[in-house]
Structure 1
Amino acid sequence: MSQRTLKHNTILLLVTIFIIAVNMRPAITSIGPMLDIIRDDLSLTNAKVSLLTALPVFCMGLFASFAPLLNRKLGLTRSMYLMLFVVGIMTALRGFYSNYVPLIFSAIIIGIAIAVMGPLLSAMIKQTFPERATSVIGVYSFGMGVGSSLGAGLTAIFFESTGSYPFALGIWAVLAIAAILFWRLSVQGEINLQHEEGEKAGKSNAHGASPWRKKKAWLYLLFFGLQASSFFCIITWIVPLATDAGMSLVQASTLLSVMMTLQIFLNLVFPMVYERFPNRRFWLLLFLTMGLIAFGLFWTGEYALMWVSSIFMAIPLAGLFPIALLFPLDATETPEDTNEWTAMMQTGGYLIAGFLPLLIAMVYDWTGDHHNTLLIFMGLFVSMIVLTFMIGDREQNVE
């Protein structure tokens, strides 16, 4: 194969990874702008309508461990085809059926599909780009950031243009069609996750198999859960926090848009920086400290400082997720082990992430004070600082 052909195939695969990653968020984030409209149209309680966003995140945790099993049964290539097809069909279903039961059903199934896709994609990156995995994880996280922002930002525009929230929710199925086409073009034949042979395999299996028995894997799980919680909590509650401080809904929504737009581009930049300067602890402590400063600025209630806070907040939201995705790659020798560790990390992590936004809602209902919400945010970041020292640097992870 010529160098030109190899370069073309590599670029095509990177574009495919990006498009698949884009598919892993709009079906969740598109619900947020439509929550009030769906609630009023279907005469639902706030608790019932909130399940449309909580259930997919719970399922992303509960079913992440299905990824290694499905990989063994179907192989990575066919498993990815199946999951993309499921996401597309379930998203399209929302465009035709606006009843509560189909919406809940689609939320659950989409959550399961995303749960499987994440570990499979990480394992493929580990195998296909062993020397550039950090940068490719940046493409992956960049795609997820784009997907989050598209779902949150354009769904309301689709609704205003058509007057139909089923259409605004179902239109995102086109992303799955695009991902399937690119997967077909970039992947020829079955991708088999490699196992090391001989003495190295024995060492790898002793180190990497059964991550549920590894203290390091549990630390990764907790950290991933807390950083995912911070993302979903902040995205969910930053607008109510801002309006509670006196901002108009338009101002608060713009503040969120600025934060998410900056996050998108930083999602791509930070992994490139990590590859050149791979000290995990330094970056984690820097980002977490900036997050605490951002919460302090937001607490003042001064509009100018709240805008500065949104910029500061985008930095840890963009930087923490790619590092968390790199933890299993740092700690494992084979793509199969990476798949196992990532599945475990996301299983427990997304269960935590699904619970904490609901906890904030319950605390706010009980106290009526969003200062407690900010305290919970700060508690998440302080806990991650403690975990950072327990996890250690990259060099310690691979020992």
Structure 2
Amino acid sequence: MDQPSTPPLAAAPTATGPTPGSLAGRRMVLLALVVLALNLRPAAVSVGPVLAETTDGLGMSHTLAGVLTSLPVIAFAGFGALAPWLARTVGIHQTTLASLVAVAIGLALRAGVDTSLPFLALSLLALAGMATANVLLPSLVKLHFGDRVGMATALYTTAMAIGLTAALLLTVPIAEAHGGWRFGLGIWAALALAAALVWVAFAAHDRHVGPPSTTISLWAVARTRLGVALAVFFGLQSIAAYSIFGWFAQLWRDSGFSPTVAGALVGLVAGISIPLSLWIPRAAAAREDQRPVLLAVMACYPLGYVGLMVAPHALAVPCALLVGIGACTFPLILSLIPLRARTTEGTAALSGWTQSAGYLVAALGPFAVGATYDATGGWTWPLALLLALAVPQLLLGLYVSQPRYLEDQLSR
């Protein structure tokens, strides 16, 4: 069972908001969190597998295609920063519902447009909803499961991993079976709509996560050592993740695999996070100091990178597994956000700052990897760059994995 990660203020919120504190009520909240989390990656990654077909169908230039692939980071950085304010003024459950509605509308309508600019605008709408809900999830966990942070985080990060893997692996087969890329992209709107229906009941009895008089601003978080360390740690983790999911299919194609097999290897990278997302948040929440979990996960990055430098074809499967385990710093950092704050409001502010600033840092990563690949004509130096970036990521991770709290640093 998870140890309480904060003073026992978070047990009470389970009896507030839209559900009672009963076992049945908490299970309903968990279901809502899981269906929400399932929708927090398909809007961002479903385009990648059918990017060529989509750009051809819309007559999209390479420049606009570059904008399209950059939109997830832009949305996470920009709209994610608004999420704590929306949770305070509109209400956390109504904001979550509105986010899912935005995802559903954006995904459904963009599948029917015929030109590039409306497709980009509707993609941004869907990604804005995804980014807002992404920031609010740690606060929802803190609000309803302050006494079971590890358990709740494990379930929703696993659901996120399932959504990510499903979008990577199923978009192409769905598109091929139903007439093209439009259906392959539009089908994910149905998943978002189903999740929105679950959240309607919660929005009717909303909870604001902090009165204006006690607001913790993102700027206040940015002035703390913990806030800076978490944001840069998150950014370095995201650089690795976006580079892996954006470029490793090409790496394996260059090493002699077919496009189908290369895509399956990237799916393996994503798929290994499904079982690990069940374990990592529980292991993190069960201890005061999360450094042992961090070291166990991040040790796999250098092994995977070096293996790909030496034998990208022969060692493809073990390296995919190792890199996938290293990428599980993502569920770890999502676990750390509520563990490093004492209050629901502090969690919202820390989540908003960490993810907004972190994704700004991450925006440079895939471009740097691509530029290095173009300049060198191979994968040794891009992998060396990712290996080098793992060093400061580890050092920052060791700092944020020790027991310290945002509110303590705000008061100094």
C-alpha spacing 1:331/1:277, structure 2 compared with 1 (3 Å):
closer
1:56 maps to 2:67: no
1:140 to 126, 135, 156: 156
Which residue is equivalent to 2:185? 169
Amino acid at match of 1:380: L
Q: Separation in 1 of the partners of 2:90 and 2:201?
A: 19
Tell me which residue corresponds to 1:131: 147
Report the counterpart of residue 333 of structure 2 in structure 1.
Answer: 324
1:110 Cα deviation (Å)?
2.2
Could you say which residue in structure 2 is the equivalent of 1:358?
367
- Unmatched tracts of structure 1, length 5 or more: none
1:215 paired residue among 207, 219, 225: 225
Residue of structure 2 in register with 1:242 after alignment: 252
Deviation larger for 209-218 or 9-18? 209-218
Q: Aligned-residue CA RMSD in angstroms? A: 2.5
Percent of aligned positions with the same letter in both sequences?
Answer: 25
Partner of 2:281: 271
Q: 1:178-210 CA deviation, whole Å, 9 max, x = no partner?
A: 111111245651123257x9xxx8xxx899982
Query: What is the identity, as a one-letter code, of the residue corresponding to 1:283?
Result: V
Match of 2:55 in 1: 39
SS in 2 for 1:65: helix
Tell me how far apart the structure 2 counterparts of residues 82 and 338 of structure 1 sit (CA, whole Å).
Answer: 20
Structure 2 spans left out of the alignment, 5+ residues: 1-14
CA shift in 2, pair 1:208/1:92, >3 Å? closer
2:346 partner amino acid: D
Relative to the length of structure 1, the TM-score reads 0.90
Q: Deviations over 1:196-225 (max 9, x none)?
A: x9xxx8xxx899982121121000000011
Please report the TM-score for the alignment, with normalisation by the length of structure 2. 0.88
Q: Which of 13, 18, 28 is 2:44 aligned to?
A: 28
In structure 1, what is the equivalent of residue 346 of structure 2? Answer: 337
Aligned mates of 1:207, 1:29 — CA distance in 2: 31
Aligned mates of 2:303, 2:352 — CA distance in 1: 32
Q: C-alpha deviations, 1:243-283, integer Å up to 9, x for none?
A: 11222222222222222222122112221222334531122
> Partner residue of 1:19?
35
Local SS of the residue matching 1:247: coil
Counterpart for residue 296 of structure 2: 286
Conserved? CA contact 1:24–1:144, under 8 Å: yes
Q: How far is 1:286 from its partner? A: 2.2
| Alignment CA distance shift 1:42-1:181 (3 Å) | closer
Mapping 1:222-241, distance limit 5 Å? 222-241=232-251
Paired residue secondary structure (1:230): helix
Query: Hey, what's the Cα distance between the residues in 1 that align with 2:59 and 2:111?
Result: 19
- State which of 91, 97, 106 in structure 2 corresponds to 1:75: 91
The counterpart of 1:301, out of the listed 288, 292, 311, is: 311
Aligned equivalent of 1:369: 378
1:13 partner letter = V
User: CA separation in 1, counterparts of 2:263 and 2:62?
Assistant: 20
Structure with greater proportional helix content: 1
Cα distance between partner residues in 1 of 2:335 and 2:281? 9
Does the CA-based 8 Å contact 1:85-1:180 persist in structure 2?
yes
Match of 1:369, SS state, is: coil
Give the Cα–Cα distance (whole angstroms) in 2 for the partners of residues 50 and 8 of structure 1.
Answer: 46
Q: Report deviation, 1:48.
A: 2.3
CA–CA distance in structure 2, aligned partners of residues 250 and 208 of structure 1: 43
Opposite residue 270 of structure 1, the aligned amino acid is I
What amino acid maps onto 1:118 in structure 2? N
Structure 1 residues 285 and 207, CA, compared in 2 at 3 Å: closer, same or farther? farther
**Counterparts of 1:120 and 1:79, CA distance in 2:** 9
Counterpart position of 1:178: 194
| Partner of residue 261 from structure 1, selected from 271, 274, 277 | 271
- The residue number in structure 1 matching 2:7 is none
Amino acid at match of 1:254: A
Greater mean alpha carbon deviation, residues 378-387 or residues 37-46: 37-46
Cα distance in structure 2, aligned partners of 1:282 and 1:191? 36
Counterpart Cα distance in 2 of 1:327 and 1:277: 11
* Alpha-carbon distance in structure 2 between the residues aligned to 1:134 and 1:397: 19
Counterparts in 2 of 1:89 and 1:386: CA distance versus 1, 3 Å: same
1:222 partner amino acid: V
Is this contact kept in 2: 1:96–1:166, CA < 8 A? yes
Number of residues paired by the alignment? 390
Q: Which secondary structure state, in structure 2, belongs to the residue aligned with residue 242 of structure 1?
A: helix
Deviates more, 1:219-228 or 1:242-251: 242-251
